[in-house]
């Protein structure tokens, strides 16, 4: 990269900045000039105003913004951790013990292609509208990548090492514990982000359909009350929260991976 290109990079940054700025200005303009009716879209300014208002105001949807965020966070944390706690050991065992694999895999393969969203009606039926149903959907969503990655990780462990351990007389459980699990770790860490992304989508879907609190519910209420700014606020908060959680999980993953190398 030569000097001239360096200057260009700075220009490009400003172009990106302008691009976002123009997007926002156009948005503001088409709303405040009345080109788009306010039943369809609210201006960025009114969304910002609503944001500060919703920090303390429980109307019109029944909870403050903080309460919605908290409810969503709680659901995703529970579902995500549950998926990891059950999915990873299950995947590891399936990868190592052929009998478990043979028994569990057919059912797993049957469940896998069902999009988590398709579980929502059943979850509503089973658990009613509320936390349990949400967590269940999120759990189902996160389970699949957790199992698959742990399973693949075990399959990828070095056969030479396993052979060596066998000649030293290690038991199947010992080999599993000392060779397979450590070599599956990179794949397992790889599952963290994938599972999170799926869980996040599931959370939104679950809250849209089967919830009485949470960011997804906020969005639904916005639609029912014909308040686009409520919808947009919910979407933006989803984006920001999703970004932050993703960032944190990424940091954790990096930390864990660098711990592996040492």
Q: What does the binding site for another protein look like in residue numbers (CB under 8 A)?
A: 1-3, 6, 8, 12-13, 15-17, 19-20, 23, 39-41, 98-99, 101-107, 109-122, 124-126, 148, 151-152, 155-156, 200-201, 204-205, 208-209, 216, 219-220, 222-223, 226, 228, 231-232, 234-235, 238-240, 242-243, 246
* Closer to another protein by Cβ: residue 66 or 106: 106
Extract the tokens encoding 118.
């398709």
Angle at 44 between CA 41 and CA 45, to 5 degrees: 120
Q: Minimum distance between the CB of residue 211 and another protein, rounded to whole angstroms?
A: 13
Give dist(CA 149, CA 88) in Å, integer.
8
* Closer to another protein by Cβ: residue 83 or 219: 219
* Closer to another protein by Cβ: residue 137 or 169: 137
Q: Minimum distance between the CB of residue 183 and another protein, rounded to whole angstroms?
A: 12
Give dist(CA 184, CA 151) in Å, integer.
8
Cβ contacts of 71 within 8 Å, gap of 6 or more? 63, 131, 213, 214
DSSP line for 60-118: TTTS-HHHHHHHHHHHHHHHHHHHHHHHHHHHHHHHH-HHHHHHHHHHHHHHTTS-GGG
Q: Minimum distance between the CB of residue 158 and another protein, rounded to whole angstroms?
A: 11
Q: Minimum distance between the CB of residue 79 and another protein, rounded to whole angstroms?
A: 15
Q: Minimum distance between the CB of residue 100 and another protein, rounded to whole angstroms?
A: 10
* Closer to another protein by Cβ: residue 174 or 240: 240
* Closer to another protein by Cβ: residue 223 or 255: 223
Q: Minimum distance between the CB of residue 52 and another protein, rounded to whole angstroms?
A: 21
* Closer to another protein by Cβ: residue 135 or 219: 219
Judge whether 45 and 28 are in contact, CB under 8 Å.
yes
Q: Give me the half-sphere count of Cα atoms (radius 13 Å) on the Cβ side of residue 128.
A: 3
Q: Minimum distance between the CB of residue 102 and another protein, rounded to whole angstroms?
A: 3
Cα distances from 90 to residues 38, 75, 103, 120, 254, in angstroms, run 51, 22, 12, 24, 24
Phi–psi pair at 213, nearest 5 degrees = -160, 160
* Closer to another protein by Cβ: residue 58 or 103: 103
Cβ contacts of 15 within 8 Å, gap of 6 or more? none
């Amino acid at each position: 990269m030569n000097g001239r290109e360096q200057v260009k990079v700075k220009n490009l940054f400003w172009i990106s900045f302008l691009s976002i700025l123009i997007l926002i200005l156009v948005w503001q303009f088409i709303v405040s000039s009345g080109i788009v009716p306010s039943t369809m879209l609210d201006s960025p300014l009114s969304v910002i105003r609503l944001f500060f208002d919703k920090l303390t105001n429980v109307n019109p949807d029944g909870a403050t913004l903080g309460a919605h965020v908290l409810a969503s966070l709680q659901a995703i944390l529970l579902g995500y951790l549950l998926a990891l706690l059950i999915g990873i050991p299950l995947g590891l065992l399936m990868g190592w013990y052929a009998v478990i694999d043979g028994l569990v895999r057919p059912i797993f393969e049957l469940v896998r292609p069902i999009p988590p969203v398709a579980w929502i009606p059943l979850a509503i039926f089973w658990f009613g509208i509320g936390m349990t149903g949400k967590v269940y959907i999120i759990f189902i969503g996160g389970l699949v990548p957790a199992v698959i990655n742990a399973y693949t990780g075990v399959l990828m462990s070095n056969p030479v090492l396993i052979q060596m351990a066998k000649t030293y007389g290690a038991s199947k459980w010992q080999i599993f514990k000392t060779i397979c699990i450590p070599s599956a770790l990179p794949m397992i860490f790889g599952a963290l982000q994938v599972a999170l992304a799926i869980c996040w989508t599931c959370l939104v879907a679950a809250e849209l359909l089967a919830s009485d609190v949470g960011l997804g519910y906020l969005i639904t209420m916005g639609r029912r009350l014909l308040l686009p700014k409520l919808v947009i606020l919910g979407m933006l908060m989803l984006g920001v929260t999703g970004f932050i959680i993703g960032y944190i999980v990424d940091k954790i993953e990096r930390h864990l991976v660098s711990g592996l190398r040492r």
